[in-house]
Each structure stands twice: as structure tokens, then as C-alpha cells.
Amino acid sequence: MGAIGNGGPDWVERPAHRLWLLDQARQLFDLFLPSFDPAGGFRPLDRQWQPLEGPAGVLRQIHDTTRMVHGYALAQELGLPGAGRMIDHGMEALWTRHRDARHGGYVWSFGPEGPVNATKQAYGHAFVLLAASSARMAGHPDADRLLSDVAEVIRTRFWDATAGASREEFTEDWHPLGPYRGQNSNMHLTEALMAAFEATGESEWLRMAESIALLLIDRHARAEGWRVPEHFDDRWQVNRDYAGDPMFRPAGTTPGHALEWSRLLVQLWHLGGRRHGWLQEAAEALFLHTTRIGWDHRHGGFYYTLRWSDRPDREDRYWWPCAEGIAAAHALRRSGGDERFEGWYRRIWNFVAAHFVDRTHGGWFAELDPALNPVERVFRGKPDLYHAVQACLIPLVPPSAGVLQGLRTLSLAGPARG
């Protein structure tokens, strides 16, 4: 693909672009309203925004519930009517359906008859912490209850102070499910810990986030030439041969996660008072290396996964790496990065607008095949509000804050600076 020119002011400095971003976000919030299920939680939706049929249509998973709470907390901060009803509904499902009143913690999924997968996953608990923190910043009356409860579970069950990171998974009654340790859950816990710090001002959360970043990025990703290892054993040694669930634990390396870390490191650098200079250095290195090896420079888009040789493994393009690339490019550019980051910001948005945005039914397609045709191999329908809406809103806020905190200073006329 040819270079995208950077002529004129950065896109985020242009009122029309900022209005376009806000309009895209507003449309997404409207489109996900039919996911509200009076029986509890949120229904997955097909490409036409109708509830999915079959077994997948009745399963309620914790990352879906929590991301909807977080997403509509953003909508409420924007002043969009109807957001409060969605937050209330999600908070109720978290407390009465996902929360395990007997053993503590939060089960992965439930159905009409109760828990379906009752395991306790670090990934899910990270998103409960994010939802609780966002609900607290949005002023929800039950947020403190949820935040206090999940914080205690994370401290006492998941956090490994020796490693400075989270353990991964347990049975319903808290027996470890094996030696596996995962990057993905710890990355999202870093995001949630920063949100908890912004919501409460408690420095413990920031120290924990810095600890995870030090282990996974400054130690491991740096040693791997700015590739982010995904899978580890319980001594935090890299397992290059692991191949698990294609959605949450794919083999090889995942370019989208390196881009996601890039954005999170910029935010962590700012929240910590810019004390740790390596965070900004690492954020730039991760982004530039990933765009070099993970972007299809002929057809566009990020490969889902790469082999350790940097050759594509899963060549399908998913929507969320592009969303994370947009957010990371914005954060790096607004934190003093050069014009390369503005060029990538434009390039990725142009690809999303041309191929991921569904011009017929709205929203974003979840997957494209290597020929850039929409497919449903891993994801069905329109599965997620979280990544797409944050791609629209993060460029409107300073990189020094989480997206909800940043929306409090939203201006449609001026740029978002650190």
C-alpha cells in the first residue's frame, strides 16, 4: 500500500474529524441497545443486530457483561440518554448472576438455569474491576460494592506478589487449574488497575500495573526484540509451543496485543508522573516493530497472529487489532511522537472505513479473510462494543488519562494533548 500523506493539521485537530468520531461512537451505542435481555445480561447479536439463535444465543459470558457496563459508562459520560438503563442491567447481572455468593469471585458464564462455566478466570476478573471502576466514575450507586468485592478477590486469590503479576485460573472452589500463566489476562488487568487508580486514587493499583508492565514488557518483550510473548509457565518462563483457544490464547504472537500494550504504556507513563522513561520508549518500539511485521503492506490490515519467525500464522484480519492500532497511534502522536504515528493513524482508519465498517447494517465486521471479505470463523455476528467504540473515543481524549476520565474534558473544537 502506498504511503498516506500527512499534509495539514493532524486529523484529531480538525473539528470535522472529531465530530465524525463522535458520530461513529453514538451509532455504535445505538446499535448495541437490542442486546438488552430482560431475563438477565446481554444477548449476542448477529450481523443484522438481531439476537443470535442456538446455544451461543443463551450463553452470557463475563467479558461481554463487563464490557457493556464499561461501554455504556462512557455513553453516560457523553450524556447519551438510555445509557443508565444498560449500566444498571449489567451491574445487576454481575452481582446476581456472575458473582459466586458461596465461594467468592465471579463465574465465567451463565445461562437460563444458572452458571455454565463456573471457573474463576483472571481475564474475567480484570474486566469486573474495569466495569466497577468505570461505574464508580459514572456515579453508579452499586459501584463501590462491586469494586470492593472484586478488589479483595484479586488481592487474595489472583495476585502473585513474588512474580508481580496475576495467576491465571481456578476451579469454582479455588483449586488451581494448572501452571499456565497468560499475557492476555495480565494486559487487561493492567488496563483495569489504571482505571481503578483513576476511580479511587489508591496508589496500590498503579504500582500493580507498573509491576505487570515491568515483567511482561521491560523484561520479556524487550528480550524478544519487542515481540510480546503470550504464554508462560508458573515460573514466568516463555512457552513458545503453547497453542490454546484461538480467541483468547492463540499460538505464536499477536500483533494486536503489542499495539494494545503500546497505548497502555503511554497512559501508564503519564499516570505515574512520567517517572519511568522506559515506558514511553517501549511504547514506541512496540508500535513501530509491530506495524513493520504485523501489517499486510500489500493489502492492508493486521494479521491476527504471527509465528515466532514473524511470518503470518492466522492471516485473517480481526477488527480489534485495528481499533488498538488507532488508539496507540493517537496516544504516541499526542505524547510527542513524530509524523509516522499520524501517518499510521490515518492509514488504519482508512482501512477500517473501507473494509470493517458495515455500510449496510452498521457497526464493524468482526473478521475478514485474506481477500478482505467478511467471514465468521471465530466470531459470530457483531460481538463487541468495547474495542470499536474506544477506537472512536480515545482519539478525542488526552493520552494521559483513561478514556472515561478523559471524556470529562472533551472538546470538539481542540486536540487532545497529554
Instruction: For residue range 138-147, list pLDDT tens digits in order.
Output: 999 999 999 9
Q: Is the pLDDT of residue 64 over 60?
A: yes
**Cell numbers representing residue 79 in the block:** 450524556
The predicted model gives 68-95 an average pLDDT of 98
Amino acid identity of residue 396, one-letter, is L
Task: Provide the grid cell at 25.
Answer: 461512537
- Name the grid cell of 226: 519487542
Nearest to 12 by CA among 360, 398, 311: 398
Query: Which residue in the block uniquely carries the three cell numbers 465498517?
Result: 357
CA angle at 38 for the pair 35 and 41, rounded to the nearest 5°: 55
Residue 417 clears pLDDT 60, i.e. is over it: no
> What is residue 326's predicted lDDT score, i.e. its pLDDT?
98
Residue 48 C-alpha cell reads as 443484522
Residue 116 has pLDDT above 50, yes or no: yes
N-terminal to C-terminal alpha carbon distance within the chain: 31
pLDDT of residue 265 exceeding 60, the answer is yes
What mean pLDDT comes out for the span 67-80? 98
How confident is residue 398, by pLDDT bands cut at 50, 70 and 90?
A: very high
Is pLDDT above 70 for 382?
yes
How confident is the model over 170-192, as pLDDT tens digits? 999 999 999 999 999 999 999 99
Reading the block at residue 370, the C-alpha cell is 485474506
According to the model, what pLDDT value does residue 247 have?
Answer: 85
Tens-digit pLDDT profile for residues 206-225: 999 999 999 999 999 999 99
Return the higher-pLDDT residue of 223 and 245. Answer: 223
The whole-number pLDDT of residue 246 equals 83
Q: 301 near 355, Cβ under 8 Å?
A: yes
Q: How confident is the model at residue 56 (pLDDT cuts 50, 70, 90)?
A: confident
d(CA 139, CA 344): 36
Q: What is the mean pLDDT of residues 74-81?
A: 97
Residues 222-233: pLDDT tens digits?
A: 999 999 999 999
Percent over 90 (pLDDT), the chain: 94
Told to judge if 289 belongs to the known catalytic residues of this protein, a careful annotator would answer: no
Is 220 a catalytic site residue? no
Q: What is the pLDDT of residue 245?
A: 85
Question: Any residues with CB less than 8 A from the CB of 42 and at least 6 apart, and which?
Answer: 35, 36, 60, 64, 65, 68, 89, 90, 93
pLDDT at 304 over 50: yes
pLDDT of residue 378: 92
Burial 282-301 (b: 16+ CB within 10 A, else e): bbbbbbbbbbebbbbeeebb
- Mean pLDDT is lowest, of 51-65, 141-155, 217-231, for 51-65
> Is the model's pTM score more than 0.95?
yes
Helix orientation angle between 122-137 and 183-200, rounded to the nearest 10 degrees:
20
Containing 207, the helix (H) or strand (E) segment is helix 203-213
Cell numbers for 319, please give them. 477488527
For residue 354, what are the CA distances in angstroms to 3, 95, 294? 16, 40, 19
CA atoms of 107 and 96, how far apart (whole Å)? 11
Query: Which of 257, 289, 330, 355 is labelled catalytic?
Result: 257
pLDDT at residue 3 is higher than 90: no
If you search the block for the grid coordinates 460481538, which residue do you land on? Answer: 383
pLDDT at 2: 41
pLDDT at position 415 over 70: no
Amino acid identity at 269: W
Check residue 1 and give its pLDDT.
Answer: 42
pLDDT band at 413 (very low <50, low <70, confident <90, very high): confident
pLDDT tens readout for residues 305-317: 999 999 999 999 9
- Confidence grade of residue 414 (pLDDT, cut at 50, 70, 90): low
Residue from 228, 261, 252, 249 nearest 180 by CA: 249
Report the share of the chain in percent with pLDDT over 70.
98
Q: Is the pLDDT of residue 416 over 70?
A: no
> What CA–CA distance (Å, rounded) separates 385 from 260?
16
d(Cα 215, Cα 225) in Å, to the nearest integer? 15
* CATH class of residue range 11-407: mainly alpha
> What mean pLDDT is reported for the chain?
96
Q: Nearest 5°: CA angle at 249, between 244 and 252?
A: 85
Q: What pLDDT, on a 0 to 100 scale, did the predictor assign at position 4?
A: 58
**What is the average per-residue pLDDT within 400-405?**
95
